[in-house]
Structure 1
């Protein structure tokens, strides 16, 4: 089988890692990279023995697939050029800034038959991969994603920048439509929201509480999932997960809480997390999420398989993100707080 010819559009913070992985991937030929910063682009090209291309459109006709890792504002224009020509395209998250643009990319991929994958990297986090075997039926989910200000992604706020990761994971876990959204947010350093909280109510009654901040003094990427028969606490950053379940004695009815005399229990915590509940450290296979993501993309292109996160799933996350932004806008208006230019329902949530 001939090598898959790949290009990388944008080799900044994330794009340079795409180039690194493609440059070492068996069966893949990194044809070229491009970046608006010529010095950076040439440096990455030299490192991985490939060509620096000044104009990304010069890769058309020379590649079978591309990674698009430019600022979000340009995702639509760049990705559509390749999708229209039938080139398989992986777009970094968020797929686009608006719902209308997202739907436009999905339609372009449908018309040309090109693979469209979106870089929701947490789907490939070893901890997330490991808990899939439990077939969770979430009733309540709580997610926290906090980070210091990165001075990147200034064209979008924290909802599309960071919270979008958890929105995608939550939508995938619950598998139901979001019926109601309540949200609040505030801008601190940027002209868009830097801190946001949202409460999502799903059609089946499940609830998710999601918090994101990009002005935190410390980083945190955690999610807790409460299901019918278990509770999982997962740390994305540490790539660890714990699962709490009823002990066999409690599940079988051998132990009845209403009949317990707690005055005779010497260590309540030990009794709770020993006799009533079991705690299991989930076995997690170590791997680099981005490498797995790109390997999956290449596999989809080679074998015409649907991607783990396709355009439709990414659009669903963007649609919920804009419902959150609408609620943030409404809450700011109620408080007589000026709303940032561009942070309006008309600018992002509506299809053309």
Structure 2
């Protein structure tokens, strides 16, 4: 359907994942480029108030721990939990880490479906950053909480930013810092809780697509973003491979 729309030079919104296969994604990339249409991929967590609260911050995370746990729902079990849930965090991490993927190690377990229902992946980047991702659709409690120096709760839509400074490096005037005794001397710990934006993420992702069409600017979540997330997701699926326990 996306191919037909692009060939008719219509701008497109595509829900994640971008396509079923890498070959389909590469073919679609070519068709979209040839026809000059805009595509936005539905990685809706980019518009989550918790994630939006980081806007303007210059981040260079070196460790990311992401847990995306959902209660069982028959919807979506036709694909692995990697393409159903984990792909959200893959997209966020690829967006935050300014480096290429170096290696991926993963394992998964099939519980009620033919594809993994629980999966864990460790992604190492060329710049030394390590991301550890866990996704499950067999949990008793929902939880979506990636964090790396910054804690983001995607379910409750709030953020907590924790910074540690040397006592002589910063001024405490007008701040809300606490002293912390460590093995390396006295440090200053600064805890911030940015006020989340009161937005409807699904509405916002569609509004940004409309605005990009009107202004002729790139979409917020481009087809290339969707392709990169899909590619890493398939690398994780391939890494799990025959090691999947059923």
TM-score (norm 1): 0.64
Question: What are the equivalent positions in structure 2 for 1:1-352 lying under 5 Å apart?
Answer: 78-225=1-148, 231-247=149-165, 249=167, 251-252=169-170, 257-258=182-183, 276-332=188-244, 337=245
CA distance in 2, matches of 1:222, 1:255: 26
Query: Larger RCO: Structure 1 or Structure 2 (Cα < 8 Å, ≥ 6 residues apart)?
Result: 2
Structure 1 residue 196, shift from structure 2 partner: 0.3
113-122 or 100-109, which deviates more: 100-109
1:258–1:120 distance in 2 versus 1, CA, 3 Å: closer
Structure 2 segments unaligned to the other structure (5+ residues)? 172-178
1:88–1:255 distance in 2 versus 1, CA, 3 Å: closer
1:132–1:259 distance in 2 versus 1, CA, 3 Å: closer
Equivalenced residue count is 239
Where does structure 1 differ by over 2 angstroms across 4 or more consecutive aligned residues? 247-260
1:97–1:250 distance in 2 versus 1, CA, 3 Å: farther
CA distance in 1, matches of 2:107, 2:21: 19
CA distance in 1, matches of 2:166, 2:197: 27
CA distance in 2, matches of 1:316, 1:87: 23
Q: Which has the larger radius of gyration?
A: 1
CA distance in 1, matches of 2:163, 2:8: 51
CA distance in 2, matches of 1:182, 1:209: 10
CA distance in 1, matches of 2:140, 2:205: 29
Task: Report the RMSD for the aligned CA atoms in angstroms.
Answer: 2.1
Q: Which is helix-richer, 1 or 2? A: 1
Structure 1 residue 256, shift from structure 2 partner: 7.4
CA distance in 2, matches of 1:132, 1:305: 19
TM-score (norm 2): 0.91
